[in-house]
Structure 1
Amino acid sequence: MPRNLDLTSLRSFVAVAEAGGVTRAAGFLNLTQSAVSMQLKRLEESLDMSLLDRSSRTIAITASGEQLLSYARRMLKLNDEVFALMTHQAYEGEIVLGVPHDIVYPAIPEVLKRFNAEYPRMRVQLLSSVTVSLKEKFRRGEVDIILTTEEGCDTGGETLMNRDLVWVGAKGGTVWRDRPLKLAFEPHCMFRMAAQKALDAANIPWEMAVESDSTRTIEASVSADLAVHSVLDGMEAPHLEQIRHGGALPDLGSKKVNMFISELATSQVALDLAEFLRQAYSRVSAGSDHGSTTTLPVDFRSRSSASA
């Protein structure tokens, strides 16, 4: 029949090992020296081995004790994590966060991971949509915090960063060389009009090759080198890359990433989530410049839409 280790005795053993003696360990554990000594004795008896060398004035760990110490630390850490998760009652419930699909990477996964570590009993419902839709849901009170991508910032909003809009395509793709230029955008994407206006101003013919309400469809089409897309610098999905066009495609200007917090979202949970978002996008904004590199000039005058 399996035997169970006593976690209280293990905690005393780890404390003695780290403090270097029973007296200091007892102070850390808020126990008497005799209580700590009794727990150590009970642990040694249960394992039928000596864990501490008491032959000198200072306590040393035996070879068996060293082996147990590593396991004990892991067992206590897991115990404390489970206990905190199952008994933490300070914050429970759900908070709704709205984020445009094109600025999810790389900041949002980091934010969600950090938030979950701080508030394991809170659920974050991530709503991914276009800015127009998110702002409408925010006005109706359906979202606690939203991020938007816009040229300006409405009253009540806070600008987290200002970032250049860049062209993205498949890794190693060549469709960006085709004319008319094939585009892939959602119908209400705010970057769509910016791309079209810039191409018109540069007298570059274009066609909407892929139009879908599904972000996955857009990204799959672009990653398959069927069309190009535009996103904020540094926020492209992992399976896409910025197009190093060497000036063959026009500049797209810049956009702001703004944050709006509902007047009803006044809890510490909401305030902390907002702060996590500020810090994450601040790190993105401070990241390396992804400016286009110099490439050899390309002659597009004789290139047709059927060329590969």
Structure 2
Amino acid sequence: MNLQIDYLRTFIALTETKGFTKAGIQVNRSQSAGSMQIKRLEDEIGKKLFARIGKTVKLTAEGHILIKYALRIVKEHDDAVRALSKPDLEGFIRFGSPEHYTIGLLPKLLARFSSSYPDVLVEMRCENSDKIKEAVDKGELDIGICTQISEGGQVIYHDPVVWVAEPEFVFQAHKPLSIAVFEEDCIFRTWALEALEKSGLKYRIVYVSRSISGLIDAVRAGFAVAPIIRSNVPSDLKIIGIGDGLPVLPVSNIVLHKTKKTASEIIDCFSEHIIKSFGEKL
């Protein structure tokens, strides 16, 4: 059995888009060429990977097995190619992000980039989204990722904002909801309060923090519920929502901004690294 990389790329794209037209655009192939690759991959394996439902597709049981390996195979292949063909980049890059995105993915992302490009120094700044975008626009930062609060930039990931609570939490509609929120200049706080007021729910702010660790500690203590992005929800806490009586919160679109004041191979390389890393979370 020979699992060709190009076929696996198309397989991954079709899994994500659920349609041959969009998958073809993603891998830069025509719809018919993409369809033929999937057929050849299925012939090679001897199993159907997708069930056709109208104009969309969904993974079969065998497809679910393969996708786990396909993602790893393609990632390792691309990492090997980059390691063997990478340019000898030297210099530094100024990068900024809100704290919401500096836990979880970013430490691994920065470690991987440092391993691939040891002679490039990444200077990191952690501030709110509006400050990060302003710094990029002024040329004080080379690259920034932030929550989409205005036009411009490239959307690289969608992360829903959710209510998180300790496992035994039960919402009591006759009592004000105790909430923990970020400080006033945080968009997640604004979204949470607007959603509660629109739904007519009574609430009280009992804990204010600039750090996400502070909010999570307040939730763990059973002191409050808090609005955070889903990718930051610890495994020991639970997500609550409509079924529990709370309003739905917006989706945080994560946007990448690059400075227009400076262009360099390092900036382009680091941008591609960020986009790829977030893409692997999908």
Same fold, TM-score > 0.5, yes or no: yes
1:65-80 equivalences under 5 Å are none
Residue 255 of structure 1 aligns to a residue in which SS? strand
* CA contact 2:157–2:255 (8 Å) conserved in 1: yes
Alignment partner, residue 128 of structure 2: 130
**TM (normalized to structure 1)?**
0.56
Establish whether residue 227 from structure 1 lines up as the match of residue 224 from structure 2: yes
Establish whether residue 116 from structure 1 lines up as the match of residue 88 from structure 2: no
Counterparts of 1:223 and 1:210 in 2: how far apart (Å)? 13
Alignment partner, residue 143 of structure 1: 141
Counterparts of 1:259 and 1:209 in 2: how far apart (Å)? 33
**Runs of 4 or more off by more than 4 Å in structure 1?**
175-178, 237-241
Alignment partner, residue 263 of structure 1: 260
| Among 202, 205, 212, the residue aligned to 2:202 | 205
Q: Which residue identity is paired with 1:271? A: D
Alignment partner, residue 69 of structure 2: none
Alignment partner, residue 271 of structure 2: 274
Alignment partner, residue 179 of structure 2: 183
- C-alpha change, 1:208 and 1:175, in structure 2 (3 Å) is farther
1:1-308 equivalences under 5 Å are 90-150=88-148, 153-155=150-152, 157-170=153-166, 172-174=167-169, 177=172, 179-187=175-183, 188-236=185-233, 240-243=237-240, 246-284=243-281, 286=282
- C-alpha change, 1:262 and 1:251, in structure 2 (3 Å) is same
Residue 208 of structure 1 aligns to a residue in which SS? strand
Q: CA deviation at 1:238?
A: 6.0
Counterparts of 1:99 and 1:150 in 2: how far apart (Å)? 12
Q: Which residue identity is paired with 1:126? A: M
Q: CA deviation at 1:105?
A: 4.0
- C-alpha change, 1:96 and 1:241, in structure 2 (3 Å) is farther
**TM (normalized to structure 2)?**
0.61
Residue 280 of structure 2 aligns to a residue in which SS? helix
Q: CA deviation at 1:249?
A: 0.8
Over aligned residues, Cα RMSD in angstroms? 2.8
Q: Which residue identity is paired with 1:123? A: L
- C-alpha change, 1:181 and 1:136, in structure 2 (3 Å) is same
* CA contact 1:104–1:235 (8 Å) conserved in 2: no
Residue 270 of structure 2 aligns to a residue in which SS? helix
Q: CA deviation at 1:175?
A: 7.0
Size of the aligned set, in residue pairs, is 196
Q: Which residue identity is paired with 1:273? A: F
- C-alpha change, 1:133 and 1:270, in structure 2 (3 Å) is same
Q: Percent identity?
A: 24
Structure 1: give runs of 5+ residues left out of the alignment.
1-88, 287-308
Q: CA deviation at 1:177?
A: 4.8
* CA contact 2:171–2:245 (8 Å) conserved in 1: no
Counterparts of 2:219 and 2:192 in 1: how far apart (Å)? 15
* CA contact 1:176–1:182 (8 Å) conserved in 2: no
Counterparts of 1:130 and 1:239 in 2: how far apart (Å)? 27
Describe the superposition over 1:117-158 as per-residue Cα deviations: whole angstroms up to 9, x where unpaired. 11112222222222122223223322111111125x523x11
- C-alpha change, 1:189 and 1:126, in structure 2 (3 Å) is same
Q: CA deviation at 1:95?
A: 1.6
- C-alpha change, 1:266 and 1:249, in structure 2 (3 Å) is same
* CA contact 1:175–1:182 (8 Å) conserved in 2: no
Q: CA deviation at 1:240?
A: 4.7
* CA contact 2:139–2:262 (8 Å) conserved in 1: no
> Mean alpha-carbon deviation: is it higher for 234-243 or for 266-275?
234-243
